[in-house]
Structure 1
Amino acid sequence: MKNINWNNIRLVVILCVVVFLYAFTGKRNEGRKMTEADIEFTGNENFITKEKVNNLLIQSYGAVTGIQKVDLDLSNVEKILNENPMVEKAEVYATVDGKLKAVITQRKPVARIFEGSQSYYLDNRGGKMPLSDNETARVPLVTGDIEKADAKKMHKLLAYIYNDDFLNKNIIGLTVSPVGNMILRSRGDDYDIVFGKPINIEKKFENYKAFLQDAAKDTLIKNYKTINLKFTQQVVCTKK
């Protein structure tokens, strides 16, 4: 009679118990009903509200509460949220305690464009974004002959302003001239900043900041009508 290897038997029994518990837990988890929707925004933007997101979830299922986890089509929910023009990215998942979690990243406007009778935002990726009923973005207002501008280069200029703390706080407007030149306006100042074509952006703004540091030493800046940054080697000013 062969000796029974009790260690192997114990191992098989333990393995069977683990598989059973795993299957039982998985089945129980699939049958769990959702208790609520938990909506989280990743940034400070407020172009879409939690109520609006919740309404989009309701459109998918009628009501979130009471739905079994197994009946959730998370990819479809994400698709519906991502189709909203205020949303850059949505991530949706179900938590172990029965919540439908939606993490929303909203689009980030870098400028507001006035083109004919239309008004819309330009976001940080260069896409058109509708205005929001819930919040107005504090971004530069872009007017003039928009169609004469190089769209990609203008967006690069606006994105640079958006990502620079000083410029973001001080540049409040941009006008496109009939030949595609950019004229900027600074908060609280009477002069125009003649930027020219949206090229050599970093160098031009370096010159502008250096000029402002020197101008801060006296009060002559109040007498200027234009500050011309078109020439990368120098800043040319015109008095009133």
Structure 2
Amino acid sequence: MQLTQGMEYFFAGFSLISQKGLKRFVFIPLLINFLLFGSSLFFLYDWLTQGIAYLTGMLPDWLSWLEWLMWPLAVLVVLFSYSMIFTVITNFIAAPFNGLLSEKVELHLTGQKVNDDGFVDVMKDVPRMLGREWTKLCYYLPRAIGFFLLLWLLPVIGQILWVLFTCWMLCIQYNDYPFDNHKVAFNDMKRHLKQQQSLSYGFGFAAFILTAIPLVNLIVMPVAVCGATKLWVENYRQHYRN
């Protein structure tokens, strides 16, 4: 079943990040994720604590029982907003390193280099990589706003649609690195992923579940890049071989 197979590709990333020759390329994306998450978490907790204290202080005594309800709602809203901002920032900063990691994973899996670019050539290609991240962001934001509104306007149905959309975007985000290494256009990549939707959603669902687990989510990015590269090699690479 392709849905299960897509999940297996994601989890294959756990074994790939520990392979000899790949660990050093995993380190930088992992460090970026850890530093940004760790440093911002302290500010987030302090801001949330002060915000809840301010709101509960405004409540009359007869509504003081609402405090227990405000905490989980506030945490959900803040974590949602935080995860969006955090993901956008880390993807922009880590894009060149994730592309390099994907390239080395493909070399490990196939024994063939993606290209012969040196360090200087890679640095020159950084603006194009960041432009690709901007393309993904422009694709994501208007749809995210629409699905977020449905999340509140259509209980249950809206939540299901939001989860499906998130799974699709996680699939696009991480599969884009091996596609982009081969200069495959963004729209062509989406077309390929849509042709095997069960495979794509399976991969995205596994990434969605692991992203929701504290601490584990710190290593999701390199794991997903490795798993997505394996998915590319075994399902799409043959279409773009010279």
TM-score by length of 1: 0.30
TM-score by length of 2: 0.30
Bigger Rg, structure 1 or 2: 1
- Greater relative contact order (Cα < 8 A, sep 6+): 2
